[in-house]
């Protein structure tokens, strides 16, 4: 068994695939993070992300899969689910070994599992598009905190850039300690070490002076349109799981 350690990026994962083929490895595990001590009878390979190797694997995938098929692999890599990397490698091996397009070969366990993972990640992206609640900071930037189950921030960029093209905004993933920032021209990835003392990632101290008023108005609106006699807690929890509530203004 060979364990390949890489940096957790999609480019790093495809570099690892290049190493697997170059070294003719069969039984492998993938590990995201720093170099660690090897267990007995375990071989470790430290993968350094390499643009040339990554591009070669990507070019091969584009010859075997449709653009949508390549995108599926990228989305699946954002799941951070245990063994998802090995599943993606299995999918890629199957694609390279086959003389036909394998994207709908759901009889193959890797193809089926990638499809399932992608559905979960896309469902989480859809929820984030609906549940993000911006709050205006003192400098006019709109700020939101999220804690998604999967690493979906890269999948949110287009939606929020199109929807809020005339506003500066930050969406910060409190669990993964990074965010996306739109400056009216482009979106950048940012890393901010916010305090975790409150649900707002420590940003409440710089709220715009009118933010409290707008939150109060939204809460009043939410309460006024609620029909108590039609309350269905079970259905409500199915659509808005409780783990999202602490970042929803109407639930403060």
* Better-scored residue on pLDDT, 181 or 135: 181
Give ∠ CA 132-154-134 in degrees, rounded to 5.
20
Separation of alpha carbons 6 and 46, rounded Å = 6
Q: What is the per-residue pLDDT for 239?
A: 58
User: Which distant-in-sequence residues (6+ apart) come within 8 Å of 76 by Cβ?
Assistant: 84, 87, 88, 114, 117, 118, 121
State the chain's mean pLDDT as an integer.
84
Band the pLDDT of 218: cuts 50, 70, 90: very low
Separation of alpha carbons 23 and 148, rounded Å = 36
Q: What is the per-residue pLDDT for 136?
A: 83
Q: How many CA atoms lie within 13 A of 137 on its CB side?
A: 18
Report which secondary-structure segment, H or E, holds 146.
strand 142-146
pLDDT for residue 227 is more than 90: no
Question: pLDDT tens-digit profile of 85-94?
Answer: 999 999 999 9
Q: Is the pTM of this model over 0.95?
A: no
Question: pLDDT tens-digit profile of 30-43?
Answer: 999 876 665 555 68
Question: pLDDT tens-digit profile of 135-154?
Answer: 888 778 888 989 999 999 99
Strand 28-32 versus strand 135-136 pairing type: unpaired
DSSP single-letter state for residue 5:
E
pLDDT for residue 203 is more than 50: no
């Amino acid at each position: 068994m060979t364990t390949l350690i890489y940096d957790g990026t999609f480019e790093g994962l495809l570099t690892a695939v290049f190493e697997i083929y170059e070294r003719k490895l069969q039984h492998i595990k993938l590990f995201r993070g720093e170099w660690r001590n090897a267990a007995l009878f375990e071989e470790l390979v430290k993968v350094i992300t390499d643009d040339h190797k990554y591009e070669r694997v990507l070019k091969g995938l584009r010859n075997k899969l449709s653009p949508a098929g390549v995108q599926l692999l990228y989305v699946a890599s954002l799941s951070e689910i245990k063994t998802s990397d090995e599943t993606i490698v299995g999918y890629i091996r199957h694609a390279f070994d086959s003389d036909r397009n394998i994207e709908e070969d759901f009889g193959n366990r890797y193809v089926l599992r990638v499809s399932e993972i992608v559905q979960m990640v896309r469902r989480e992206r859809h929820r984030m598009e609906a549940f993000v609640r911006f709050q205006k900071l003192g400098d006019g930037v709109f700020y939101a905190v999220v804690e998604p189950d999967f690493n979906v921030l890269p999948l949110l960029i287009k939606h929020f850039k199109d929807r809020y093209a005339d506003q500066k905004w930050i969406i910060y993933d409190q669990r993964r300690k990074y965010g996306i920032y739109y400056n009216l021209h482009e979106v950048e990835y940012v890393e901010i070490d916010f305090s975790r003392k409150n649900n707002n990632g420590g940003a409440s101290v710089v709220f715009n002076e009118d933010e409290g008023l707008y939150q109060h108005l939204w809460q009043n609106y939410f309460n006024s349109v609620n029909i108590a006699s039609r309350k269905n807690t079970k259905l409500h929890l199915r659509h808005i799981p409780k783990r999202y509530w602490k970042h929803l203004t109407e639930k403060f």
